[in-house]
Amino acid sequence: MRPFDYERASDAAGAVAAVAERPGATFLAGGTNLVDHLKLGITAPELLVDIGRLDLDRIEELEGGGLRVGAMVRNSDLAADPRVRRDHPMLSRALLSGASGQLRNAATTGGNLLQRTRCVYFQDATTPCNKREPGSGCSALGGYTRYHAILGASEACIATHPSDMAVALAALDATVVVLGTDGEKRLPLTSLHRLPGDEPERDTVLEPGDLITAVELPPPTGGARSTYRKIRDRASYAFALVSVAAVLELDPDAAQPTVRSARIALGGVAHAPWRARRAEELLTGAPATRESFRRAAAAELEQARPVDGNEFKVTMAQGVMVSVLAELAGLDEHPEEPRDE
Whether 14 shows a pLDDT value over 70: the answer reads yes
Whether 109 shows a pLDDT value over 90: the answer reads yes
Q: What is the pLDDT of residues 202-247, one digit of tens each?
A: 999 999 999 999 999 999 988 899 999 999 998 877 899 999 999 9
Which is the CATH superfamily of the domain at 225-328?
CO dehydrogenase flavoprotein, C-terminal domain (3.30.390.50)
pTM (two decimals): 0.93
Q: Which residues of the chain form CATH 3.30.390.50?
A: 225-328
Whether 43 shows a pLDDT value over 90: the answer reads no
CA atoms within 13 A on the CB side of 305: 10
**Range 66-95 average pLDDT:** 96
Q: What is the pLDDT of residues 113-150, one digit of tens each?
A: 999 999 999 999 999 999 999 999 999 999 999 999 99
**Range 194-208 average pLDDT:** 96
What is the average pLDDT value for the chain, to the nearest integer? 93
Q: How confident is the model at residue 278 (pLDDT cuts 50, 70, 90)?
A: very high
Whether 337 shows a pLDDT value over 70: the answer reads no
Q: How confident is the model at residue 333 (pLDDT cuts 50, 70, 90)?
A: low
Q: Which residues of the chain form CATH 3.30.43.10?
A: 5-50
Between helix 290-301 and helix 312-328 the angle, nearest 10°, is 150
- Please give the share of the chain, as a percent, with pLDDT higher than 90: 84
**Range 21-39 average pLDDT:** 88
Q: How many CB atoms are located within 10 Å of the residue 242 CB?
A: 24
What pLDDT shows up at residue 322? 98
| CATH code reported for the domain at 5-50 | 3.30.43.10
Whether 96 shows a pLDDT value over 60: the answer reads yes
What pLDDT shows up at residue 235? 81
